[in-house]
């Protein structure tokens, strides 16, 4: 008996690729069990993400994607993405607050491991490596993880719990998944 799996886009409208990268060098030392909250824009050496926002659409303004505006492009493994220096509090505050408020309204008692499908507090984060510094920094995507934005996040202090499971990107068969319609999952098709 043989089985075939392929990546498919799940119907999770609140989810999508969030404009922050996680440092692959921190893996596998990160917890995926809700026991640790990570600040993904922190410049702390222990933070899994510390090089600023990812310019996921190349337009120089990733901050709407911190909110409910869906990123409709495709992000795949081995892709390179430019980064921006720092997180602009004024541009980030509104969209992130809107995302968290919508998640809490949808699911007042929702948590990283017990929430309604489509809750916008569930996001997909690219994992990879940075080269260069400042505005010349480049992020190379290697994989993706699911995460839950905590309600105590504000503007550029984005705190998340990393979640178990397969998330976004390009499957081993080379199937690219579109970010705007939700997270990618590996589905048994045969």
Does any domain span residue 10?
Answer: no
Question: What is the domain count for the chain?
Answer: 1
Does any domain span residue 102?
Answer: yes
Q: Tokens for 34, please give them.
A: 């809700």
d(CA 171, CA 153): 31
d(CA 153, CA 132): 28
- Identify the domain containing residue 49 by its residue range: 16-172
User: CA 79 → CA 56, 68, 71, 127, distances in Å?
Assistant: 10, 24, 16, 11
Does any domain span residue 140?
Answer: yes
| Nearest alpha carbon to residue 62 among 36, 91, 40, 89 | 91
- Model confidence pTM above 0.85: no
Does any domain span residue 93?
Answer: yes
Helix (H) or strand (E) holding 5: strand 5-9
Which residues of 62-166 form beta strands (DSSP E)? Answer: 80-82, 122-131, 138-149, 159-163
Does any domain span residue 184?
Answer: no
Q: What is the pLDDT along the chain (190 residues), one digit of tens a residue?
A: 443 333 444 433 334 688 888 888 877 778 888 888 888 876 565 566 666 788 888 888 888 888 888 787 777 778 899 888 777 888 888 999 999 999 999 999 999 889 988 899 988 888 888 888 767 788 888 878 888 999 998 887 888 998 876 554 433 333 444 433 333 443 333 3
Does any domain span residue 56?
Answer: yes
Does any domain span residue 44?
Answer: yes
Does any domain span residue 116?
Answer: yes
């Amino acid at each position: 008996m043989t089985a075939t799996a392929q990546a498919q886009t799940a119907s999770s409208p609140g989810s999508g690729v969030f404009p922050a990268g996680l440092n692959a060098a921190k893996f596998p030392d990160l917890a995926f069990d809700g026991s640790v909250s990570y600040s993904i824009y922190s410049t702390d050496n222990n933070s899994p993400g510390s090089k600023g926002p990812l310019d996921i659409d190349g337009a120089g303004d990733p901050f709407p994607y911190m909110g409910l505006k869906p990123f409709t492009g495709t992000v795949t493994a081995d892709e390179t993405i430019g980064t921006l220096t720092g997180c602009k509090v004024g541009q980030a505050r509104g969209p992130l607050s809107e995302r968290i408020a919508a998640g809490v309204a949808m699911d007042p008692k929702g948590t990283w491991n017990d929430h309604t499908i489509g809750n916008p507090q569930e996001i997909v984060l690219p994992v990879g490596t940075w080269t260069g510094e400042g505005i010349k920094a480049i992020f190379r995507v290697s994989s993706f993880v699911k995460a839950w934005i905590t309600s105590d996040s504000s503007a550029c202090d984005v705190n998340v719990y990393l979640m178990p499971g397969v998330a976004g990107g390009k499957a081993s068969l080379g199937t690219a998944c579109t970010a705007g319609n939700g997270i990618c999952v590996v589905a048994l098709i045969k």
